[in-house]
Amino acid sequence: MRWFLLTLRVLLGAVFLYAAYTKLSQSWLLFAMSINAYKVLPAWAVEVVARTLPWFELLLGLSLIAGIWLRYSSALAASILTVFFILMLRSYGLGMEIDCGCFGLGEPISPKTLIRDGALLVGAFALAWFSWIPLSRRSADRVAA
Amino acid sequence: MHRFLRSVPVFFLAALVLFGGKYEGVPSAAVKIDLYSDFQCPHCRTFHQGTLQMLKADYVKTNKVYLTNHDIALPMHTYARTAALYALAAQQIGKYDEVADILFARQDDWSVSGKVDATLAEKLSPADMSKIRALTADKKTTAMFDADMADALKRQLGQTPTIVIQHKLKTYPVTDLDYTFMKRFLAQLLSK
């Protein structure tokens, strides 16, 4: 179980770091366009999210890999991935032909992206679950660390 | 390439600007936009009637952006190819914009009935229609359409409209149809 949780948090952490890198290495306006295409936020909120979310993903990725505040970071990862997944599912269901915006430009929402994000979501929930539920009288933080 | 463009006579570049249509603006513009659009696609209509008009007014007509329209046909759109061929034929007599405007404005009609020709004939003069009809059957027009389709396949585009912005060898495929952030992004690119 220890190795499973370690692999899971490093994998999730790497995904968040990569997601942050793809956004921070280009103009924030490109990410703003990806968010805006979902048509769920007003322009001012799109700007706030586009400017801050990549930094949040960066911190989350580092926290998951380092195993610092694992309970909170895993819960946050599960929450944020839930939001992403619901938004992607909604857009796909409505037939909106837009980019996922997950890892930069040029990746339309498709069954493939939904399966990938769904798998990440399951992984994040598993990590959060095992982080919060003590195993063998020891905190999950210690086990995972 | 740039050296070649500098050697192109000014009147030719001016003609491109005035002619409009499939290619709009000056080819030497710092930013180039390739627009991949399908005449039967509702999202393309929204883009054509809204954002594209603002984009043209702010950046294309001011020679800051060079716009290339690629008319493609998605597999599920039965009459999109016919519509594209009419638009490409119209391009050759300087009527591309007019035909594109009519096709998008009357999309709900011809995309159900398939009567692309009749829809255009209601708005265009008989002389223009006869020229367009003749050009529609021309191999050159078909080749233009095939080239656009091949280009879309090469780029692996699966959705329309797709806007591909190019600046200094970098390529940015965009699917946001709203002008708010696109305008700011273009301004940012042009300020570099």
Given this model, what pLDDT does residue B183 score?
A: 95
Distance from the B66 Cα atom to the nearest Cα atom in chain A, whole angstroms: 20
Asked whether the beta carbons of A128 and A78 are under 8 A apart, the reply is: yes
pLDDT given at position B10: 40
Cβ of B160 within 8 Å of Cβ of A97? The answer is yes
Cβ separation of B185 and A97 shorter than 8 Å?
Answer: no
Q: How confident is the model at residue B15 (pLDDT cuts 50, 70, 90)?
A: very low
Q: How far is CA A96 from the centre of its chain?
A: 21
Longest dimension (CA), chain A: 49
The pLDDT of residue A95 is 86
List, in order, residues 6 or more apart from A74 with CB less than 8 Å away.
A9, A12, A64, A124, A127, A128, A131
For residue B3, pLDDT over 50 is answered with: no
Three-class secondary structure of residue B1 per DSSP: coil
| Chain B neighbors of A98, CB-CB under 8 A | 159, 175-176
Contact indicator for A97, A47 with CB cutoff of 8 Å: no
Q: What is the ipTM of this complex?
A: 0.81
For chain B, percent of residues with pLDDT exceeding 90: 74
Single out the residue of B2, B59, B4 nearest to residue B32, CA to CA.
B59
Secondary structure class of B18 (helix, strand, coil)? helix
pLDDT in the model for residue B176: 84
Beta bridge partners of B23: B68
Chain B residue closest to A38 (CA)? Answer: B176
Task: Decide if A99 and B160 are in contact by the 8 Å CB cutoff.
Answer: no
Q: What count of CB pairs under 8 Å joins A to B?
A: 49
- Please tell me if residue A37 touches chain B, with a CB cutoff of 8 Å: yes
Q: Does A49 touch chain B (CB under 8 A)?
A: no
Identify which of A27, A46, A105 has the shortest CB distance to residue B173: A105
Task: Indicate the SS3 state at residue A141.
Answer: helix
Task: Nearest chain B residue to A50 by CA: give it.
Answer: B181
Contact B157, B36 (CB under 8 A): yes
Chain A interface mutation, best of B168, B176, B189, highest count of A Cβ atoms under 10 Å: B176
> Which pLDDT band holds residue B163 (cuts at 50, 70, 90)?
very high
Nearest Cα neighbor of B29 from B165, B154, B179 is: B165
C-alpha distance from A69 to closest chain B C-alpha (Å): 36
Helix residue ranges, H only, chain B? 2-7, 10-19, 42-49, 51-55, 80-91, 96-105, 107-113, 116-121, 126-136, 139-154, 179-191
Distance between start and end Cα atoms, chain A: 12
Q: How large is the C-alpha radius of gyration of chain B?
A: 16
In the prediction, which pLDDT does A107 show? 85
Choose, out of B175, B184, B185, the residue to mutate when testing the contact with A (most A CBs < 10 Å).
Answer: B175
Separation CA B129–CA B134 (nearest Å): 8
Which chain B residues are closer than 8 Å to A101 by Cβ? Answer: none
For residue range B127-141, what is the model confidence (pLDDT) as tens digits?
Answer: 999 999 999 989 999
pLDDT at B16: 39
Asked whether the predicted pLDDT for residue B11 surpasses 80, the reply is no
Give chain B positions within 8 Å (CB) of A43: 180-181
- End-to-end alpha carbon distance in chain B: 21
Residue labelled with tokens 């716009």: B67
Contact B175 A30 (CB under 8 A): no
Strand-strand pairing, B23-24 and B162-167: unpaired
pLDDT > 90? residue B19: no
pLDDT at res. B177:
83
CA B8 to mean position of chain CA atoms: 23
The nearest CA of chain B is from the CA of A131 a distance in Å of 38
Using CB atoms, which residue from B43, B158, B176 is nearest to A108?
B158
Instruction: Tell whether omega for the bond before B42 is within 30 degrees of 0, i.e. cis.
Output: no
Run of H or E residues at A143: helix A140-144
Q: Which two tokens stand for residue B79?
A: 């009459």
pTM for this predicted structure:
0.81
Hey, are the CB atoms on A105 and B174 less than 8 Å from each other? yes
pLDDT in tens, B21-52: 688 999 999 999 999 999 999 989 999 999 99
Q: What share of chain A is helix, strand, coil (3-state, %, to 5)?
A: 75, 5, 25
HSE at residue A68, side-chain half, CA atoms within 13 A, is 6
Rounded Cα gap, residues B6 and B28, in angstroms: 8
Percent of chain B with pLDDT strictly greater than 70: 89
Contact A27 B180 (CB under 8 A): no
For residue B14 the two structure tokens come to: 């001016």
For position B17, what pLDDT does the model report? 39
**Mean pLDDT in order along chain A per 10 residues (145 residues):** 86 96 95 94 96 96 93 94 96 88 87 94 92 62 53
pLDDT per residue over B46-95, tens digit each?
A: 999 999 999 999 999 999 999 999 999 988 899 999 999 999 999 999 99
Asked whether the beta carbons of residue A34 and residue B173 sit closer than 8 angstroms, the reply is no
